[in-house]
Amino acid sequence: MNSELMSMVLHNVKKVTPLVHCITNYVTVNDVANIVLACGGSPIMADDIHEAADISRLCTATCINIGTLNERTIASMVVAGYAAHEAGHITLLDPVGAGASAYRTDTAIMLMKKIPFSVIRGNMSEIKALASAYGVTVNSRADTAEKDIGVKTQGVDVNASDKVTDVTVKQSVALAQKLAEKTHAVIAVSGAIDIIADDSHAYICRNGCAEMSRITGTGCMLSALTTVFCAANKNTILHTDAVLSAAVVSFAVMGLCGERAQKKSAEAQEGTGSFRSYLIDEMSTMTAEKLIEGQKIEEFRP
């Protein structure tokens, strides 16, 4: 991706200040609100059915995260997501824990059937659970001996056997692109190697660090960030892949903030509490220069 495009994506976020409706889990909702503000967006959370659609219409994008779903909020997700779609807004689904319980998998699939999401962002275990429901399967497990770890053992984190590695990246991109084809969404998979793909193009991004999985909410924050970036750039960059490009840049920015925060906390011999504050610090002070220097985005060509 060329530097000019990356700069423009970042610039548009600060220029537009997208108002983003987040129906998200109560575990990391505060982190989500703070990352949206830090990157230059403005968050609003409204999970009651009496206002969910109104608030979606008021915003320019809606981010739906099923991390602590329940019957009441699922109904609101449907109307909020659909109202956003009808208004031509960016809609993003974060299927937190899909695969960990039937309720989560079924709810994610139901939402996908009712709302044509612009972007679906999850870890590889979650994306595989969705893909499987769409009849999309690719064996990307590096080590079949690990198979008995099972699909359901890791809760909201990725299964060890599902992690994308240099060995499995080709198969993983193929899976993402097949799911993109079925859903017409950008499929964005976070991990040590991120995959961001639509049905015709794919990118991988190697930004990020292990520390990011030692605090809660980095996945949820990334989903909100991607929503903001896509909303700000949807109609503004002269590029056929506006949503895909904006999603790719959001992944690089999040990973880069993690790397920089990790460097700072390690140098000061601090731990994950300080790391978490520094992650937000980095987001609120990100610049095009830092991004261009630190990004590890590659277009994936099979």
Nearest to 255 by CA among 228, 284, 282: 282
Does 110 bind a copy of itself (CB under 8 A)? Our answer is: no
Return d(Cα 258, Cα 89) in angstroms, integer.
Answer: 29
The tokens describing 107, both together, are 């709810």
Residue with tokens 């699922």: 74
Contact residue for a copy of itself among 101, 200, 235, 287 (CB under 8 A): 101
Partnered with residue 110 across adjacent β-strands are none
Contact residue for a copy of itself among 116, 137, 147, 155 (CB under 8 A): 155
Contact residue for a copy of itself among 8, 10, 13, 31 (CB under 8 A): 31
Return d(Cα 25, Cα 37) in angstroms, integer.
Answer: 18
- Count the site residues for a copy of itself by CB under 8 A: 65
Whether 25 and 68 have beta carbons less than 8 Å apart is answered as yes
The minimum distance between CB 206 and a copy of itself, in angstroms, equals 23
Return d(Cα 208, Cα 189) in angstroms, integer.
Answer: 13
**94-102, 177-185, 194-202, 248-256 -> range binding a copy of itself (CB under 8 A):** 94-102
**82-90, 97-105, 115-123, 170-178 -> range binding a copy of itself (CB under 8 A):** 97-105
H-only helix segments in the chain: 3-16, 29-39, 52-58, 71-86, 102-114, 124-133, 169-183, 218-233, 242-267, 272-284, 288-294
Contact residue for a copy of itself among 45, 75, 133, 288 (CB under 8 A): 45
Q: How far is CA 136 from the centre of its chain?
A: 20
Does 100 bind a copy of itself (CB under 8 A)? Our answer is: yes
Question: Mask of contacts with a copy of itself, 207-246, x by CB under 8 A?
Answer: ------xxxxx-----------------------------
Does 153 bind a copy of itself (CB under 8 A)? Our answer is: yes
Phi, psi of 268 (to 5 degrees): -90, 5
Does 55 bind a copy of itself (CB under 8 A)? Our answer is: yes
For binding to a copy of itself (CB under 8 A), which residues are involved? 19, 25-31, 33-34, 37-38, 42-48, 50-51, 54-55, 58-59, 67-72, 97, 100-104, 152-157, 213-217, 265, 269-274, 276-285
